Amino acid sequence: MKRFEITRVTAGKENDVYCHVQEPVALLSGSRGDFSPKEAEAILKETGKQVLLLVCRSADGFGVRCLSLSQRIRALELIDFVFGQFGIAKGTEKWAESTISEVLLSVAMSEAEVDDVIEYFLLRADAYFTECDVVEAVTYAQQNSQQLVQMKEYEKARVLWAYVKTVDIVPKGVELSIRTLENDTGVVIEADDDLYIMIGCKGEVYQIQYEKFNASYEMSEEPLDIFTQMYEFIPAVERLDNHTYVPIDEIAKICYPKKETGILARPLEKRTRVFGKTVADYFVADPGDYLAVRKDDPQDVYVIRKEVFALTYVEKEKQE
């Protein structure tokens, strides 16, 4: 079907698996809804793929589970894309799942002009690659020099930000998981003296190295008042040693963007995945969000949500 081919596998009791011709993704159609990650991994090993979607009938519709052994394809993100507005995905970057009712699936299939359930999910899996641009931060500036020339220059508005040293949250070496607006699957970081967590104007959080923080912000000892200075939600991180959530607003302090900090940015027309210089630097953008490139480090490429961009950046005045 389309860009998938059927492969017969013995793992999972001789099921037919639809393997994508070009991408490292396979889809298994089965009657069981209790496939374990271990069974899914056996199927991936046999097919030579890295990501498996398990499509099974549930009590009132269909359920899809996803196992991803690839750092470039996050299970939660893939499931969320496959279901779109018709489902709520839960899970992590490695293992995720979602369900959809028979009624909603019929609506989705009708909109896609498809009358076969498996074909619908195959089309959605394929669309994850065909309908999404990919940006490699390390090579973006070099390969898109003309595009950079056309991008407008912006600087941060004089709005309040907040920061927390990771070692003020947990002891050095303890792992934390944070979810950002640009990466719903979460990022795992290790507390370190040089690693900070930023809190944006909408309560979003993301990690930042001290060197970059110091180049971009001025520290203060002013405490953060979440009720008057932030909104949307109370920022928190998860401790992975005991799986508890830690609110960080009470230990956060205010910082101010330095005037000289500048970026080049442009609004995106397509859904875009951005792979940064490290595994932790991963962003997903929707149409209308902004792709940003730091002027002082062209390999620092990232995504800013459109609602955050409107509040925190202003176009830089051109020098006469």
Contact partners, residue 202, CB within 8 Å, separation at least 6: 181, 230, 231, 232, 307, 308, 311
Q: Give domain 4-130's CATH number out of 3.90.660, 1.10.3470, 3.10.310, 3.30.70.
A: 3.10.310
Closest CA to 279 of 172, 143, 197, 183: 183
Cα dihedral: 218, 223, 228, 233 (round 10): 90
pLDDT mean across residues, the chain: 87
Give the separation between CA 20 and CA 47, rounded to whole angstroms.
Answer: 10
In the predicted structure, residue 230 carries a pLDDT above the cut 70? no
Q: In this structure, what token pair is assigned to residue 82?
A: 């496959």
DSSP string, 106-131: HHHHHHHT---HHHHHHHHHHHHHHT
pLDDT, residue 274, reads 94
Half-sphere exposure of 233 (CA within 13 A, CB side): 9
| Amino acid identity for residue 82 in this structure | V
pLDDT digits (tens, 9 = 90+) for 244-290: 888 888 899 999 888 766 899 999 999 999 998 877 788 899 999 99
Residue found under tokens 């961009």: 309
The whole-model pTM stands at 0.78
User: In a 3-state reduction of DSSP, which class is residue 152?
Assistant: strand
Residue 20: Cβ-neighbour burial (10 angstroms; 0-12, 13-18, 19+) = buried
Beta strand 271-275 with 132-136 is parallel
Predicted local confidence at residue 182, as pLDDT: 63
> How far, in Å, CA of 137 to CA of 146, rounded?
16
Q: What is the pLDDT of residues 100-130, one digit of tens each?
A: 999 999 999 999 999 999 999 999 999 999 9
Give domain limits for the chain: 4-130, 135-315
Beta bridge partners of 5: 19
